[in-house]
Chains A and B, each alone.
Chain A
């Protein structure tokens, strides 16, 4: 235990937790949405995140495009990548057993990782610096990068936008219908393919936003950067209740705060930081098998 931790240090740790937790949340939403519709854990999501980081890196550092053009292109390309993966790797298997779909997802994940290593080399690339976002500001002993304040707001904004989309628009209604009963939704004339594509588009778009913010804060780009991030965000989605957007955000925040607060209170255990995610996951699944906000599911016979 840190004896006599000052209020400043504690607040600083809370800000650290809020900022990393919001990033987890942003990426966890992508897992949760796909799971909600397809009952598929999209293991390639972390690698879609990695590809988005490379798109941004190439746009700014290699092709010297202005940042707003790069961000736009990154989001569009990542979105197309996500939709493309669904079209070619998941759709042909839609009527196959769920396990085949899962294996296909793992295959796509490996393909993307190796493709990135082959195309972009295994060496880390330096993500361009955004001084406006990264130059720290001092608040009475607290030092904060503007991007750390921006991230929670972006996550909140996106969550509200998504909840509106899901609950108050026609596409959202179709998504909910497909999530509840795939076959009936089809019989009701809902264009299943369109709904699933838009789900993947939204999830991948969020991965792109997450990647841009992540790299502003942690400016190195690597082919395997999506592995740990993907795993943690998947855990965040499960903790919050997979299939539930609010749950994903909650799970992400819980994970971010517990990781940082463990480091704050038990400095000797900092090397086990990644283990925290798994410990929390096990504890929550023991008591709430469907996650904190997850609905109880009845297996249909």
Chain B
């Protein structure tokens, strides 16, 4: 009895382990294959965001499965939404799976954590929606296809001051998340400058990833009575924050950043997140480029039952297409050659707009899309361009 039980338990363990690894294809030694690493959170607090980017990468891979006459193989590694796990996952992709380039990760903190690994191994990486400047700063091997937080912070500060007519704001930030802290700072700086009022930030609340109770900080914010609340951060926590704020009788509008655009914000937030406004990268109802139209059409074909096309999925698509373009221009699958080709990208037509990589490794983008939650959907509000 005991033995059978022990056997059964160890079997369960083995099965779960195998299942946990099923995302990684077996390592092939075939040189006719070019391996691209996909470095995303597929479990943990950011899992929903990672999955959306993987959707875009896979869609692009189906459309363009080959480059230089070789088959492209995606090796997916789960960084578990954890900074420590992120370095391990990136190291495994590069050292064990021998990928020639890496795509990801959702979440700037996770990308920053992998920065050292890609730099020391001289394997290029393309961040998709990681907006914090630190991702590419001082790292010649990290690139990105999205805009940056100083820009995004300014866009949202403008929106709060001009469109909402806010005189003062409260900020709620996820202190353990570089993205959230960075964006909150860029927003505050821009907002203080816009209103010429050094005391325009009337309250700040900090929380940690995974927190569920925000009543304490929200009660403080309610007492400060701000016109608008800026709360960049992870979607689950943000949804709970907005819910609890409404339950405490706070009526000020909530605005946030690109990480809000996941279905979980709406499913968890329900009616309380109606009217929440965020900046993002892409609007499926109005693609700016031909590549954008192709992406929308292909996405609709692949997922006919889905309504909104999340912006980060479009960025996943762009990241893959840009990488393949770079491999083609490099004429080889050598990581250093791909890196040099990525660095000299000029006017690449992506689904989210034209991409030109600057000296920092960032895509030069000066337009953001503002969306609002309306009738349980992310709805286009307007496009903001800042020169």
Docked complex Cα distance between A117 and B42 (Å) = 10
A224: chain B residues at CB < 8 Å are: 44, 210
**Given known A117-B43, A124-B48, contact A274–B208 (CB-CB < 8 A):** yes
Indicate if B294 sits at the interface (CB-CB under 8 A). no
A270: chain B residues at CB < 8 Å are: 205-207, 216-217
Query: Nearest B residue to A262 by beta-carbon distance?
Result: B216
Option from B205, B215, B223 in Cβ contact (under 8 Å) with A260: B215
Option from B16, B45, B210, B268 in Cβ contact (under 8 Å) with A126: B268
A92: chain B residues at CB < 8 Å are: 2
Contact B216 A16 (CB under 8 A): yes
Contact B16 A118 (CB under 8 A): yes
Chain A interface: which of B88-96, B240-248, B315-323?
B240-248
Contact A267 B48 (CB under 8 A): no
Query: Nearest A residue to B5 by beta-carbon distance?
Result: A88
A118: min CB distance to chain B, Å: 6
B12: min CB distance to chain A, Å: 8
Contact B249 A5 (CB under 8 A): no
**Given known A121-B47, A122-B43, A123-B51, contact A219–B216 (CB-CB < 8 A):** no
A224: min CB distance to chain B, Å: 7
Contact A220 B268 (CB under 8 A): yes
Docked complex Cα distance between A19 and B216 (Å) = 11
Query: Nearest B residue to A269 by beta-carbon distance?
Result: B206
Docked complex Cα distance between A218 and B256 (Å) = 20
18 contacting pairs across A/B (C-beta < 8 A): A2-B220, A12-B219, A111-B12, A118-B16, A121-B47, A123-B51, A126-B268, A138-B249, A143-B249, A218-B240, A220-B212, A220-B240, A222-B45, A225-B210, A225-B212, A263-B219, A264-B219, A270-B207
Indicate if A20 sits at the interface (CB-CB under 8 A). yes
Indicate if A6 sits at the interface (CB-CB under 8 A). yes
Q: Of residues 1 to 34 in A, which have CB atoms within 8 Å of B's CB atoms?
A: 2, 5-6, 8-9, 12-13, 16-17, 19-20
Docked complex Cα distance between A243 and B65 (Å) = 61
CB 8 Å contact bits of B18-45 with A (1 = contact, 0 = none): 0110000000000000000000001111
Q: Is the interface of B mostly helix, strand, loop or mixed?
A: helix
A268: chain B residues at CB < 8 Å are: 204
**Given known A6-B223, A123-B47, A264-B220, contact A218–B267 (CB-CB < 8 A):** no
Q: A: which residues have CB within 8 A of B?
A: 2, 5-6, 8-9, 12-13, 16-17, 19-20, 88, 92, 111, 114-115, 117-118, 121-126, 129, 134, 136, 138, 143, 145, 214, 217-220, 222-225, 228, 259-260, 262-264, 267-268, 270-271, 273-274
B344: min CB distance to chain A, Å: 38
Indicate if B375 sits at the interface (CB-CB under 8 A). no
A145: chain B residues at CB < 8 Å are: 247
A228: chain B residues at CB < 8 Å are: 210-211
Contact A259 B216 (CB under 8 A): yes
Docked complex Cα distance between A114 and B148 (Å) = 35
Contact B239 A220 (CB under 8 A): yes
Indicate if B264 sits at the interface (CB-CB under 8 A). yes
Contact B48 A123 (CB under 8 A): yes
A129: chain B residues at CB < 8 Å are: 270
Query: Nearest B residue to A14 by beta-carbon distance?
Result: B219
B338: min CB distance to chain A, Å: 31
Closest 7 CB pairs of A and B: A122-B43, A263-B216, A271-B206, A122-B47, A271-B175, A143-B249, A218-B212
Docked complex Cα distance between A135 and B104 (Å) = 40
Indicate if B293 sits at the interface (CB-CB under 8 A). no
Q: Of residues 211 to 258 in B, which have CB atoms within 8 Å of A's CB atoms?
A: 211-213, 215-217, 219-220, 222-223, 236, 239-240, 243, 246-249
A255: min CB distance to chain B, Å: 12
Option from B12, B236, B243, B267 in Cβ contact (under 8 Å) with A222: B236
Indicate if B203 sits at the interface (CB-CB under 8 A). yes
B223: chain A residues at CB < 8 Å are: 2, 5-6, 8-9
Contact B222 A9 (CB under 8 A): yes
Docked complex Cα distance between A225 and B81 (Å) = 14
B217: chain A residues at CB < 8 Å are: 263, 267, 270
Query: Nearest A residue to B216 by beta-carbon distance?
Result: A263
A124: chain B residues at CB < 8 Å are: 48, 236, 264, 268
A138: chain B residues at CB < 8 Å are: 249
Docked complex Cα distance between A271 and B211 (Å) = 10
- Most chain B beta-carbon contacts within 10 A, residue among A111, A115, A224, A270: A270
- Most chain A beta-carbon contacts within 10 A, residue among B13, B19, B42, B247: B247
Option from B19, B207, B248, B268 in Cβ contact (under 8 Å) with A12: B248
